[in-house]
Amino acid sequence: MWFRSRLSALSVLGLFACSGAQEDAPAPERTIWLGSDLSYVNEMLDCGAVYRDGGVVKDPYRLFADRGNNLVRLRLWHTPDWTAYSTLEDVTRAIRASKAAGMQVLLDFHYSDNWADPGDQIIPAAWEGLDDAALAGAVYDYTYSVLSGLAAEGLMPDMVQVGNETNTEVMLPANVPEDTPINWVRNAQLLGAGLKAVRDAGLAAGAPPLAMLHIAQPEYAEPWFDDAAAHGLTDFDIIGLSYYPKWSTEDMEGLSDTIRRLRQKYGKEVIVVETAYPFTLENKDEAGNILGEDSLIEDYPATVDGQRRFLIDMTEAVLSADGSGVVYWEPAWVSTNCSTRWGKGSHWENAGFFDYEDTNATEAFDFLTHDYDVPPR
């Protein structure tokens, strides 16, 4: 038996066991996270972006909270010399605004000065030349320092992601092909240092965040977590997955099957912490968009309704497999007059949640408050 629950609040409450339970005995509380990565919002605001909902100008953090967003994901680079954003100062500003709006926060440590993703796990310049033991110490000290500093301001994140899309070995001196074998003794030592710092900082602050490890695309998750477990990397709470149809060999059913197996094998929560889908193939500016026609899948056209249905159906697939939520990447990266490293404007505005005419919120937000079928545990 399945239960229909309104997921506009942080937790799904009042689920009851389907058989063999005492009358009126509630099942354990189950938390569902439906959120967005808003790492670009501060930069967009500084670039003059204006966000509207129903034609009314709103603070974007408040807008997302009012639309049912309960988790904000934010990336953190170590010491980028090419941008003033995704620094600790910028992230602190975003955490404060997110929490003031009533949302929880997932802080994503990239452990790099730049984008970290499969094949791009470049060691921060400040740590170059360190041997493995010293590097593990630096990871621990940095992670602990960031979290304890945030806690001192009343801004401890609710979740902490130790590494971003760590399909390949972390903190390397140069890019490597994605199929390069991982030195798991070193990899586990470094990621383990980050996880221990999360535990220790949370304990010291009296506000322990949940710890997450994150792999891009579901087809790579099981072998990676098998290797991690074999090397003692088990002290975490959540498996984070990226799921982009453009780069994955799995359809929604495959994603769901993978999540179900991960839940059964490891007993960890599973959240899709990155996904996206275009609502148009047109560009608003001169910056080419990353998600084009090759991002489309059957039955989900590049329309606002197609984007909305993709998100609702994919979230249903995640939750039906005992997953714990979905985070969209990055729905507020709209077109402005500011430039990226690759061109003027945004490379993602066709996958955002705001129209081209007046940056007004679209129906894509509906996925945050849709009535999902959630199986009881």
| Among 98, 99, 106, residue whose Cα is nearest residue 61 | 98
| The pair of three-digit structure tokens given for residue 86, joined into one six-digit string | 């995704």
| Among 319, 330, 341, residue whose Cα is nearest residue 2 | 319
The per-residue pLDDT for 358 is 96
Q: Is 219 a catalytic residue?
A: no
The per-residue pLDDT for 339 is 87
The per-residue pLDDT for 28 is 53
Q: How many CB atoms lie within 10 A of CB 1?
A: 8
Give alpha helix (H) positions in 1-131: 41-46, 60-66, 88-100
Q: What's the CA gap between 214 and 224, in Å, rounded?
A: 10
Strand pairing report for 52-53 and 56-57: antiparallel
Q: How many CB atoms lie within 10 A of CB 376?
A: 17
Q: What's the CA gap between 140 and 94, in Å, rounded?
A: 23
pLDDT in tens, 213-227: 999 999 999 999 999
Residue found by looking up tokens 């926060």 in the block:
105
Average pLDDT over residues 64-70: 98
Residue 239 contacts residue 268 (beta carbons within 8 Å): yes
Average pLDDT over residues 157-182: 95
Average pLDDT over residues 172-195: 95
| Whether the predicted pLDDT of 22 surpasses 70 | no
| Whether the predicted pLDDT of 289 surpasses 60 | yes
Bridge partners of residue 371, in order along the sequence: 6
| Domains (range + CATH), the chain | 34-374 (3.20.20.80)
| The pair of three-digit structure tokens given for residue 160, joined into one six-digit string | 């902490």
The DSSP call for residue 227 is H
The per-residue pLDDT for 26 is 52
Q: How many CB atoms lie within 10 A of CB 253?
A: 10
H/E element, 236: none
| Whether the predicted pLDDT of 72 surpasses 80 | yes
Q: Is 165 a catalytic residue?
A: yes
Average pLDDT over residues 299-326: 98
Residue found by looking up tokens 């934010």 in the block:
74
Helix (H, G, I), strand (E, B) or coil at 297: strand
The end-to-end CA distance of the chain, in Å, is: 11
Residue 323 contacts residue 313 (beta carbons within 8 Å): no
Residue 112 contacts residue 79 (beta carbons within 8 Å): no
| Whether the predicted pLDDT of 7 surpasses 70 | no
Give residue 176's pLDDT band: very low, low, confident or very high (50, 70, 90): confident
Residue 100 — φ and ψ, nearest 5°?
Answer: -65, -30
Catalytic residue among 43, 269, 274, 330: 274
Give residue 149's pLDDT band: very low, low, confident or very high (50, 70, 90): very high
Name the more confident of 342 and 55: 55
Could you tell me what percent of the chain has a pLDDT over 70? 92
Average pLDDT over residues 238-242: 98
Instruction: Compute the Cα dihedral for 251, 255, 256, 257 and give only its sign.
Output: positive
Average pLDDT over residues 270-295: 97
Q: What is the per-residue DSSP string for 52-65? A: EETTEE--HHHHHH
Catalytic residue among 165, 269, 330, 349: 165
Strand blocks (E) in 256-296: 269-274
Residue 219 — φ and ψ, nearest 5°?
Answer: -65, -15
> Which bin fits 207, alpha (ψ -120 to 50), beta or left (φ > 0)?
beta
Bridge partners of residue 71, in order along the sequence: 35, 104
